[in-house]
A and B are shown apart, each in its own frame.
Chain A
């Protein structure tokens, strides 16, 4: 057991180190690029007075290390500073957007992950039969199409033609849970279509890979029905790779949804970051980047830990 704890501890430590490295890169990428940051922020409207005001506001006269430390220590306690565009604390700008993104991502994940794993297992169970081939073709088609295209297609069919769901996913603050779900139905469906194929195909591949192991033949020779072979003998040994692909897609649901948010005019993190970039709101860009990094690194760390826990050799050392 100490082995296991050490392994997981190591993963956590590496995750934190990665985040630290990312924070450095984000800082360098946004503040230390060549040229005068204040002029960059102001763009063409830069007057000497405005530039001086921005320089003073951002303490650009201080050495980079000091500025980094000031920013990083703030990040550690959840203080990202104030938005340049609105002057409001970034946390208050960011939190509702993050909530919206997580709500959409969670909704899509709740549909996509079980669906993908179930389809993958059934495809492995009925390998090379009609079900397998149909699913494979359908999911391949879904992942081959760009997500904005799928989004517009769904809008055309379900919003314009059928009128079942709204084409624009505005959520009013007073909406209840059901209304919220109704509002995000189409973006959630888009994301489901985009991610299910990938997860389903990897699940199928992982299980099929395990199915060639000698212990599967042994299970058959013990008189184990095919269904039990897939679920009892193959699935537990395929959890590592499945967890990895699931996590990769979960991460995509959070950090890769910008296009879908734009299509459905959904007020999520992606939109926020795009807006921040166009307004040259450097502190807000940094905050978004850090949130995305935390999501990505955290989820991947989770996949590593699941893989470790799924390995009986590590769970039960000799």
Chain B
């Protein structure tokens, strides 16, 4: 066996100096020429395991137990000299962001040949010839001179391939790929994946392929190890994991990734939320007429309409804030009480809400810790250290540093406050989050970041969103299905690609044509068309 990891435990320290288990008793084996995929959400410990294959732990972490053996040679606690000899020569590493992992001060070829030289693998000229050969194989332009460039002089996709060359230059037995295509565009990713796969197959190298994307790992790996919170969930052949996942968590990962394809194929998916023929009114004035919609697991349904179309009222009905006159709301198969008081704590937990105005949706006199901690205590009964740890985890998931826990909302930007709202909703571990115009109060770039965050969270956790918005660009960016509302009625609904493409429903078409386009004569054209 080339690489054998047994009962590996790695501990780290968080900002407060508390010990955290990052990897919990994970075992795995990789034989020569094999590719093992490590998959999981952020915080699953997959990168940490990948680095452990080089006998390396990040600063602040340490091996707490178990063993990592390369060809029978123990790496845990091995002397520095022995590790230096193995790193780069027998086990090579390809980092997530090549742009950050190449030293800006040196030419690419110098950095690539450095590995060769450090390990005394022969004259530099031979290394250069091999590098040029690999440049060519990985489809880099002008292989003869490519290495003379500095990292900032080539594109991200090229850098990522150059880093693969740096890994392969010593003909290692094992290559650890740590999310090597995450930082790339989708189109670039395909080329890089293909190039990397060809290269490792030609060298007969084994590989650990770390990623959060099942579809990517499916292209690369023979077997897949699914990880969650630092522990192994399921290990199996790639085909088995994709087609017959055994564990619930794996099933959720698979179904999230399948998402769109299944919908196009018309498969029946589990419905999280169903609103059936709801009528609702404020006093005598009826605002919702016979509204029905469905939200599937891990899907996003956008409710669009102009102001006064009843979309926010719909949210109030679903959350139980406004009991409907008739009709019902079903959630995960159960019929929800019309009235909030009639709903169980568990039912409330599974359905969370994020508001339009982050400024007023968080209590300015509570710290972030208290704001996010409240639902954790209320729904999940968390207290003390466990509570603090979870708040930190949640801050990490929304990409804010852990020390934000002690800040007050007044010290945060609008986008950061909205992230806090998202974390507060996530804290309850909901199945569905209703997002009520969550980006309309934010600057466009910040709004885009928030949308990307929501998309990522959905990809990681299989969340469903009911997205209330008036902004069609947002709909295009995130929705799987669209429900168009006008004066309290659903006038059009269906898959995004159908609703948002011709032939349009009358009202939908009008909405779409009303979105200003980025050219100066747009308004003239619209006006001329109307005349």
Contacts and interface: CB of A to CB of B under 8 A. Distances in A.
Given A313-B152, A318-B152, A318-B153, A224 B118 contact: yes
Given A222-B87, A222-B88, A222-B115, A214 B153 contact: no
A316 interface: yes
B152 A218 contact: no
A219 B85 contact: no
B97 A312 contact: no
- Most chain A CB inside 10 Å of its own CB: which residue of B56, B84, B119: B84
A315 to B, nearest CB: 8
A233 interface: yes
Given A214-B97, A313-B152, A316-B150, A221 B106 contact: no
Contact of A215 (B83, B88, B102): B102
B128 interface: no
A222 B86 CA distance: 9
A220 B87 contact: yes
Given A218-B95, A223-B86, A237 B114 contact: no
Interface in B52-94: 54, 56, 58, 83-89, 92-93
A223 B101 contact: no
A175 interface: no
A316 B107 CA distance: 10
A15 B100 CA distance: 34
B136 interface: no
B95 A223 contact: no
A213 B95 CA distance: 13
Given A218-B95, A222-B166, A312 B104 contact: yes
B115 to A, nearest CB: 5
Nearest to B149: A316
Given A220-B87, A223-B86, A213 B100 contact: yes
Interface in A228-253: 228, 232-233, 236-237
A275 B88 CA distance: 65
Contacts of A217: 58, 95, 101
Contact of B89 (A213, A219, A223, A228): A223
Interface string B102-119: 111110000000110011
B240 to A, nearest CB: 32
A178 interface: no
A214 B89 contact: no
Nearest to B93: A221
A316 B153 contact: yes
B105 A312 contact: yes
Nearest to B104: A312
A214 B105 CA distance: 13
A35 interface: no
A4 to B, nearest CB: 14
For chain A, give the interface size range. Answer: 20 to 34
Contacts of A312: 104-106, 150, 152
A232 B83 CA distance: 20
A47 to B, nearest CB: 68
A223 B90 CA distance: 10
A214 B87 contact: no
Contact of B119 (A214, A223, A316): A223
A221 B56 contact: yes
Contacts of A316: 149-150, 152-153
Contacts of A213: 100
Nearest to B84: A223
Contacts of B87: 220-223
A220 B103 contact: no
B315 to A, nearest CB: 43
Contacts of A233: 103, 105
A29 B125 CA distance: 65
Nearest to B83: A223
A225 interface: yes
B157 to A, nearest CB: 15
A222 B114 contact: yes
A215 B149 CA distance: 17
B142 to A, nearest CB: 15
Contacts of B149: 316
A215 B95 CA distance: 9
Contacts of B115: 222-223
A219 B103 contact: yes
Contacts of B103: 215, 218-219, 233, 236-237
Contact of A221 (B54, B100, B150, B153): B54
Contacts of A221: 51, 54, 56, 87-88, 92-93
A128 to B, nearest CB: 11
Nearest to A218: B101
A217 B115 CA distance: 14
Nearest to A315: B150
B277 to A, nearest CB: 55
B285 to A, nearest CB: 59
Nearest to B90: A223
B85 A215 contact: no
A318 B151 CA distance: 10
Nearest to B153: A318
A237 B119 CA distance: 24
A63 to B, nearest CB: 55
B178 to A, nearest CB: 10
A220 B119 CA distance: 13
Interface in A193-220: 213-215, 217-220
Contact of A223 (B85, B97, B102): B85
Given A218-B103, A313-B150, 14 more contacts: A214-B97, A215-B101, A217-B95, A218-B93, A221-B88, A222-B92, A222-B166, A225-B118, A236-B106, A312-B104, A316-B149, A316-B150, A316-B152, A318-B152
Interface of A: 213-215, 217-225, 228, 232-233, 236-237, 312-313, 316, 318
15 contacts: A215-B100, A217-B58, A219-B103, A221-B92, A221-B93, A223-B83, A223-B85, A223-B118, A228-B118, A232-B114, A236-B105, A236-B106, A237-B103, A312-B106, A316-B150
Interface of B: 51, 54, 56, 58, 83-89, 92-93, 95, 97, 100-106, 114-115, 118-119, 149-150, 152-153, 166
Give 5 nearest A-B pairs by CB, closest first. A223-B88, A236-B105, A222-B88, A223-B87, A214-B100
